[in-house]
Chain A
Amino acid sequence: MNEELEALYQSTYTAVVRFLYRKVWDAERAEDLAQEVFVRALSHKPEKPRAWVFAVAANLARDEARAAVRRRRHLTLLKGDPIAQPTVAPSADHAVEHDEQMASVQDALNTLTPRDREILLLWDAGLSYPEIAAQTGLAVGAVGTTLARARRRLVDAHDRQHSGTGTDAAHS
């Protein structure tokens, strides 16, 4: 089992970091969480390690996001501002240097529903249809439909920003 985990680690660590980065928007934090995921895998010895790793990663990221929201909410209440909407975009307190391109892709990604976004990111991380289905509760047959929609929306949203012209809505 340890050899299997080590092989998985070598082959997917980067993908896990990237997956986490797209949720926490902090490179260092993403690495910490990714390592934490594999440390836990060593203790839990899951039966399906690959799916397990991404499921745990998603959970850790979600917990982080909730903690961050609580902190932000706390701060905004103190300042008297309205409560900030939790989004995928990086918050002001993250020292993220991202260029314009990254920002526009982020914005485009934010136009997706959370579910569509999650499935797209899982696919991009390298999970298969059955793995995505297992983790998200979607039927295997519906994964393709979701990805089709998500991809279309992402590209359209990004192109809209850049070209300034709307795309044909017939695809959505």
Chain B
Amino acid sequence: MRHIPEEELHAYLDQGLSRTQCVEIESHLAACSSCQATRDGIAALRDRTTALLATLAPPRTIPPSFESLRRRADEAVTARRRRLHLLAWAASLVLAVGLGWSASVIFRPRGGGSFAEGPASRAVQAHTASRLDTLRAGQPGAAPSPIRPAEPTQPERPAPSAPQPSREPRRTSAVRSVAYPTHADSTTRRPDREAVLSVLNTQPAPELTKLDSPRSSGEDFDGMWRTMSWDGAQAEAGKPLPHIDGLPVVQIQVQNAEGTRPVMVVAQQLASGQVIRTIEGSAAEVSQLLARRTMTDVDSVQLRGDSSTHTAAGAAAIDPSHSMAMQVGDRMLAITGDLPSDSLRAMIRRINAEMRSK
């Protein structure tokens, strides 16, 4: 007669066998005293094991309430989101070329603090260096233009000063004739360089007034915009214009609200022909502009007008444009373009690196 193997008795006593197997074993046990003895021995072994292991126990404590764990779980989610927002900030740089932002105030995560000096930004500089070199390598040659560009240097400057009273506060201004200074070659920033004129025909903006000329390309931003020359815009702004060093400028637009500093948009053209725009203005206005552009990105962060509390503008997908924004104090810089976020990010990082090295 076949006896029950020990392993099976262990499993039987552990209730690890199927009903059928149990029935078989029980019927055998009923008839086999040898197996009964084995079973008893194994039962004792099991009990001894349990007793021995029971000594390996910490002092019993009262478990914390489940509610407290729920709270911890909620905090963990919030902390994770906060970390992601911080990463978005760190990653989403905005160009401040020409504005002389000091490096230590570049990053402004929620809650203050600055990690402009952090290892992340340093690592990023190396990455962007190659990216922008690639972009620059493909710059188009100088195109004819009667306009001479202003000196496109980026001297060290303190934070931008308050708007001049001479500036027109009205929103409704006629669109002036367009002048397109360019900066085809960043290495020789001579004011007498020949400028490149290239006008891009982009989609018409729904909100622009009928004053627009067909060539104006401020369409992506609502509100009313004045297109200006480089000199004009610079004079009006009273400070250097935000732009990417080395790319031809195709348009400059300025928008004034009552009593505030103007928001400026500098459109530049890449070698591929795509246009990118650098936006600079008060945090409230720029963030509003960007927020209105974002439509379907469910992950985009809600922007608040109050710059003192502020967080990420995030990389909003505006089909197919992307934008990156950075807040510095109560100002905000953004760059938008029909490029993948990675390209924009790389460009921004490179510019940021250049800017910080000044």
Interface residues of A (CB under 8 A from B): 2, 5-6, 9-10, 13-14, 17-18, 21-22, 27, 30-31, 35, 38-40, 42-43, 101-102, 105-106, 108-109, 120-121, 123-124, 128-129, 140, 143-145, 147-148, 151-152, 154-155, 158
- Residues of B near A27 (CB, < 8 A) are 58-59, 61
- Residues of B near A143 (CB, < 8 A) are 11, 16
CA distance A67 to B64 in the complex (A): 26
CA distance A69 to B153 in the complex (A): 57
5 CB < 8 A contacts A-B: A10-B63, A27-B61, A120-B53, A151-B49, A155-B52
CA distance A30 to B61 in the complex (A): 11
Q: Quick one: which of B8, B45, B59, B77 contacts A144, CB cutoff 8 A?
A: B8
Residue of A2, A124, A129, A148 most packed against chain B (CB within 10 A):
A148
The verdict on A39 contacting B45 (CB below 8 Å), with A21-B56, A27-B58, A105-B56 known, is no
Q: Is B48 an interface residue (CB 8 A)?
A: yes
Q: B69 touching A145 by the CB < 8 A rule?
A: no
Q: Is B73 an interface residue (CB 8 A)?
A: yes
The verdict on A154 contacting B16 (CB below 8 Å), with A6-B66, A101-B55, A148-B7 known, is no
Q: A39 touching B69 by the CB < 8 A rule?
A: yes
Interface residues of B (CB under 8 A from A): 6-8, 10-11, 14-17, 42, 45-46, 48-50, 52-53, 55-61, 63-64, 66, 69-70, 72-73, 76-77
- Residues of A near B16 (CB, < 8 A) are 128-129, 140, 143-144
The prevalent SS among residues of B at the interface is helix
Q: A109 touching B56 by the CB < 8 A rule?
A: yes
- Residues of A near B8 (CB, < 8 A) are 144
| B60 to A: closest C-beta gap in Å | 7
Q: A155 touching B58 by the CB < 8 A rule?
A: no
Closest to A29 in B: B58
Q: A43 touching B77 by the CB < 8 A rule?
A: yes
Q: B55 touching A102 by the CB < 8 A rule?
A: yes
Q: A158 touching B66 by the CB < 8 A rule?
A: no
Q: Quick one: which of B10, B11, B58 contacts A151, CB cutoff 8 A?
A: B10
CA distance A39 to B68 in the complex (A): 9
Q: A31 touching B7 by the CB < 8 A rule?
A: no
Q: Quick one: which of A13, A18, A144 contacts B10, CB cutoff 8 A?
A: A144
Q: Quick one: which of B14, B57, B66 contacts A10, CB cutoff 8 A?
A: B66
Closest to B57 in A: A18
CA distance A170 to B48 in the complex (A): 19
Residue of B8, B55, B58, B76 most packed against chain A (CB within 10 A):
B58
